[in-house]
Structure 1
Amino acid sequence: MNMEALKIAGELMIFGMGGVFLVLFLLFLISKLLLKIFPAK
């Protein structure tokens, strides 16, 4: 087992997870903003 490859894989996984959470957070903020602009009836 190559430790360098394992380290790179771990970093990629962490960045991938971070990206997913970032996108979800942005969607959450955008939906909040849209509800402020167009309040639900």
Structure 2
Amino acid sequence: MVYNPESLKIAFELMIFGMGGIFLVLFLLYVVSIVLIKRFPA
């Protein structure tokens, strides 16, 4: 297997953007749920 530092760098960038996107979506869902709970209490 040939080690290519450039492809490793690209793989890490993709992984960081992917994880960041997942956490961003989860954070937005969390904020929206808090707003809806405050707006429409049971």
Matched residue type, 2:14: L
Matches of 2:4 and 2:41 in 1, distance apart? 55
- Quote the offset at 1:32 in angstroms: 0.2
Aligned partner of 1:36 in structure 2 is 38
4+ aligned runs moved over 4 Å, structure 1: none
Matches of 1:39 and 1:18 in 2, distance apart? 31
Structure 1 stretches lacking a partner, 5+ long:
none
Give deviations 1:12-36, integer Å, cap 9, x for gaps.
0001000000000000000000001
Matches of 1:29 and 1:39 in 2, distance apart? 15
Q: What's the % identity of the aligned pairs? A: 70
Aligned partner of 1:18 in structure 2 is 20
